[in-house]
A and B are shown apart, each in its own frame.
Chain A
Amino acid sequence: MSYNTWIVLIGASLLGMVCAAVGTFGVLRRQALLGDVMAHTALAGAALAVWVSGTRSLPIMLATALLTGALGLLLMEWLRRVGRLRTDAAQALVLATGFGLGIVLSRVVQNVSPAGARSGLDGFLYGKAASLVRQDVFLLAAVAALLLGAIVLLWHRLKLTCFDPEGATSQGLAASRWVQAMNAALAIVVIVALPMAGIVLSAGLTILPVLAARFWTDRLAKLLGLAMILGGATAAGGIALSAAQPGWPAGPSVVLMAGLAFLVSFLFAPKRGLLGQEQARIRGVRAIQLRAHLLATQRGLTGPVSPEGEREARRRGLIDGTLLTPAGSEWLRSEEARLGR
């Protein structure tokens, strides 16, 4: 592999890890779509930077994008507090208005300098992971280190704020401040990710690895670790995929890999996955239904307490007509003993 591919690979993995880290708290706080909103508001900031400064310097664009992101957060808070809007409504409105403003401003930029100026902004829409350079990797590594340090330092507060905001407030932790800090972290990471992954896809990177990890653990520390591993691994996998397949853009390939990781976990994770849960449920349900029907039969109840239980009992020869067979009484007795009745 060439030096450039290595840079892109390392950069993308770091990106996947930090996105997953902030996304973990976002998903748990039912703010999964906040990254999407922040990413949409960033176009306005980036265009503003190009318009005002006349250059396409990435650091300046990111700084102004953070500024518009912060304004978006404040507007959302105002809409919820003063406007009494629900979170989803405030998010949708800020997203659409912010992105509309971004389109308007990028047209202004285009009007001012028709040639070429927009190409930098177009990169914000879809992302250009292949254009990652060494400095980006250093930036990402710095963001990752800062973020991890903050998470370790604030671990207990973050945990409490995620699961029980009211409890956190009653303990004098000023939960709203921590909520705002988590929102700000999510905004920073998504906006840093934008030039590489683009708007929708960087939002996806804050959700898909986290949801995938969620199917394998219930503990926050493990969830965070696993989400970061999955985020990094799927990002590397996506870059490899796009390098191997000409015409496969990097950002979408990364999201596709994360999506596959999610779909596999969603369907096949034992215990928590759809199939495992359905299987466990059906097995548990069968036993409950069978027991319910046998109990009803024992008590001489004739109503259809559970048609499924009746079918199962008949199949296993535990009932005969409306009476329990000896095998049926035995099954019921052992089941009741197992339940401690």
Chain B
Amino acid sequence: MADSLVLILALTMAGLACGWAGLPLILQKDSMVGDGISHAILPGIVLAFWVTQSREPLPMLVGALLAAGAMVLLMQLMTRVRIVPRDAALGATFTLLFAIGVIGLNQVARQVDLDPGCVIYGLAEMIPLDTVLLGGVYVPRAFFILCPAAVLAGLAVWFGRREIMLGLLDPAHAQLLGRNPRRLKLAILIGVSCVVVACFEAVGSILVVALLVGPGLAALSLTHRFEKALAGIAVASLLNAVLGVTLAQVTNTSVAGMVAVSAGVLVVASILVRQLLEKRNQALASSSR
């Protein structure tokens, strides 16, 4: 029972970090970039293994971050040529980097025990078991990275919300007021890369992709205000985690998979609720006329 609570707490925090960082990503129409980054980090991880010959987390994070940065920059470079659309640039970059990563993995796999499945599925079930003794209490190790990630993402999006809205709604206006909208977009991509890298080890890359867009889209279906959407993302993250963990335990299946499914279900549910509310409002409006 306590383990379930720890799991729910950890997945909620992952949801907060990804969901909050994902909101500007959705608004700048780069939702698929999360998927791209989560695949493109593979060569970075492999490189870190190859250099350090160990599975130390820190070099792995640095390698992943470098690969994510490389993907974002390569994508930007490609769109400088007019005939390459942005979505194709993304697809070309991350599939190529992933292929390089898999080839590299096959080279180092003989030296280090490295399971690519862990990168994709994550080891969410292991979170409650992998603990550190802190002041007499066993604290899951994942908390030390998920907590700061959620707090930092929340602070950045909350205090940056006016700049984000200003720069993304009308870049030309923002530029006249002395802002740099291009730098803002790049900053959002780099921020998302950091969150992806921070969360994938604990929860797996597929869940990161789901949590980047799921809570944000659910919240945006029900509110038209940025601030309310941030609160909605918090609620959605908690619901996702509770629903996903419960379903996974009832059916004895993968937690990461179930939370990803819950994220999709929650978006569909929010859209249905909105449809219902709109219908009711229409009925009210026509009856009062």
Contacts and interface: CB of A to CB of B under 8 A. Distances in A.
Contact of B99 (A102, A201, A214): A201
Interface string B86-98: 0110111011101
B91 A253 contact: no
B253 interface: yes
Contacts of A277: 81
B260 A103 contact: yes
Interface of A: prevailing SS: helix
Nearest to A97: B264
Interface stretch (A138-146, A183-191, A202-210, A297-305): A202-210
Given A272-B83, A274-B80, A111 B252 contact: yes
Interface string A11-32: 0000000000000000100111
B89 to A, nearest CB: 8
B264 A32 contact: no
Interface of B: prevailing SS: helix
Contact of B258 (A92, A104, A252): A104
Interface stretch (B5-13, B173-181, B211-219): B211-219
A125 B88 contact: no
A161 B110 CA distance: 50
Contacts of A36: 32, 35, 91, 95
A273 B217 contact: no
B26 interface: yes
Contacts of B257: 100-104, 107
B261 interface: yes
Contact of A204 (B96, B103, B116): B96
A27 B85 CA distance: 8
Given A95-B209, A207-B88, A256-B99, A86 B261 contact: no
Contact of A97 (B30, B263, B271, B275): B263
B251 interface: yes
A249 B103 contact: yes
Interface in B1-43: 26, 29-32, 34-35, 39
Closest 7 CB pairs of A and B: A100-B260, A97-B264, A204-B95, A103-B257, A96-B210, A259-B96, A255-B99
8 contacts: A33-B87, A36-B91, A92-B209, A93-B263, A98-B264, A122-B117, A252-B100, A274-B77
